[in-house]
Amino acid sequence: MKLLMHTCCAPCSVYCIDTLRKEGIEPTLFWYNPNIHPYSEYVARRDCLKAYSEKVNVKAIFIDEYGFDAFCKNTINNISSRCVNYCYPLRLEATFKYAKENGYDTVTTTLLYSIYQNHEFIKKECERLSEKYGIDFLYRDFRVGYYVGHQKAYEEGLYLQKYCGCIFSEEDALLKHENNKPKISSDYKFLPVEKSIVIKKNRENPEQYIKLLLEADPSERLVRDYLKEGELFTLYYKNDLACIAVVIKLDEEIVELKNLVTVEKYRGQGLAKKMIKYLFDNYKTAYKKMIVGTSENNIPFYVKQGFDKYEKTIKNFFIDNYEEEIWDENLQCIDMYYYSKDFN
């Protein structure tokens, strides 16, 4: 079988690729989604799929056409029927046509994965196009793995979009319209999800984490001080402690991330990034901002995670507060730089 799979985005492709590969089928991904709005969102989804397809070594074809103008002109007179009247048929027809012209004998789509899509219509439309182009349609109800795929996409650190794609779906999601509800019956049986990453606030015996916290901050006195007043968070990867963080309250509006450390064997896997995202989610409703103090070497990391506003520098902090010189790779830590994440 030479399978072309219309692919709407990386997160939706995860479970579909895994399932097909388990069946011994190697799909070629076909990106054609000109309806995504705005263009920055289109680029984010496209580039995420490019990176993920390279990572999992699956062939991917990108038809890089951005069609906001055409989408609006073709849907504006009947916005509520836009999916079935224009969006599904446009994308699916392009996939069957490409398959026909390029030697693929079978087509499927990741649209069959989403519980938010009109599954029965997509199935029927694919059957119609299969007849029209003389190309087989591979039907799978990928929805059973919706939560399994979602969990893996999250753990892979993929860009997880908040709405289906077009400008109208963005409005549906933001204003929590009825159209944004899952289109699936409540007794549908999904495959169970096994979470390999669990993050939680940990109140049990903080002493046991001191050795690890000292890897990020070698002053036992300082670590013990902020551990006493702070909140400790642990991230377990497959039941193994992989990352910890300590956050203290500075005042009614500001919290500070005082320590963040990943166990050596888990470094470079994006776990600290997940921890920071969790901390933002945890504090954003009750506080206005989170700050972090860092040595020069780690500024790019924190800025990339969202601490994008420079606050202040404390000159000679690492000289004045530590008995021994501190080196981070080949750079001596001297000044402390503060950056913040604004929750507004």
**What are residue 6's DSSP bridge partners?**
30, 109
Burial code (b: 16+ CB inside 10 Å, e: under 16) for 202-233 equals beeebeebeebbeebbeeeebbeebbeebbbb
Of 68 and 154, CB closest to ligand SF4 = 68
Q: In angstroms, what is the minimal distance from the CB of 51 to ligand SF4?
A: 22
Interaction between residue 143 and ligand SF4 (CB under 6 A): no
Mask: binding to ligand SF4, 33-62, rule CB under 6 A, as x and -?
--x---------------------------
Which one of the spans 101-109, 129-137, 163-171, 260-268 is the region binding ligand SF4 (CB under 6 A)? 163-171
Measured in whole angstroms, how far is the alpha carbon of residue 311 from the centre of its chain? 28
CB 316 to ligand SF4: min, Å: 55
Q: What is the DSSP letter of 192?
A: P
Question: Is the CB of 105 or the CB of 171 nearer to ligand SF4?
Answer: 171
165 lines the binding site for ligand SF4 (CB under 6 A) = yes
Helices (H) and strands (E) in the chain, counts: 13, 14
Confirm if 9 and 48 have CB atoms less than 8 A apart: yes
* 166: contact with ligand SF4 by CB under 6 A: yes
Through-space distance between the first and last CA atoms of the chain, rounded to whole angstroms: 51
Residue from 65, 53, 33 nearest 165 by CA: 33
Site for ligand SF4 in 1-40 (CB under 6 A): 35
The reply to whether 82 sits near ligand SF4 by the rule CB under 6 A is yes
What minimum distance in Å lies between the beta carbon of 33 and ligand SF4? 8
CA dihedral 90, 96, 98, 104 (to 10 degrees): 160
Min dist CB 311 to ligand SF4, Å, is: 40
In the complex, the smallest distance separating the C-beta of residue 259 from ligand SF4, rounded to whole angstroms, is 43
Residue 165 or residue 206: which is nearer to ligand SF4 going by CB?
165
Residues 6+ away with beta carbon under 8 Å from 35 = 67, 68, 71, 87, 90, 91, 165, 166
Closest approach of ligand SF4 to the CB of residue 35, in Å: 5
Q: Nearest distance from residue 79's CB to ligand SF4, in Å?
A: 9
> Among 117, 66, 72, 110, which Cα is nearest to 92's?
110
Reading the block at residue 125, the tokens are: 């439309």
Nearer to ligand SF4, 82 or 274 (CB): 82
Nearer to ligand SF4, 10 or 87 (CB): 87
SS3 content of the chain, % helix, strand, coil (to 5): 45, 20, 35
**Is residue 169 at the binding interface for ligand SF4, with CB under 6 A as the rule?**
yes
Contacting residue, 9, 87, 271, 272, with ligand SF4 by CB under 6 A = 87
- Report DSSP state, residue 62: E
Q: What minimum distance in Å lies between the beta carbon of 245 and ligand SF4? A: 37
Residues lying near ligand SF4 in the complex (CB under 6 A): 35, 82-83, 87, 164-166, 168-169
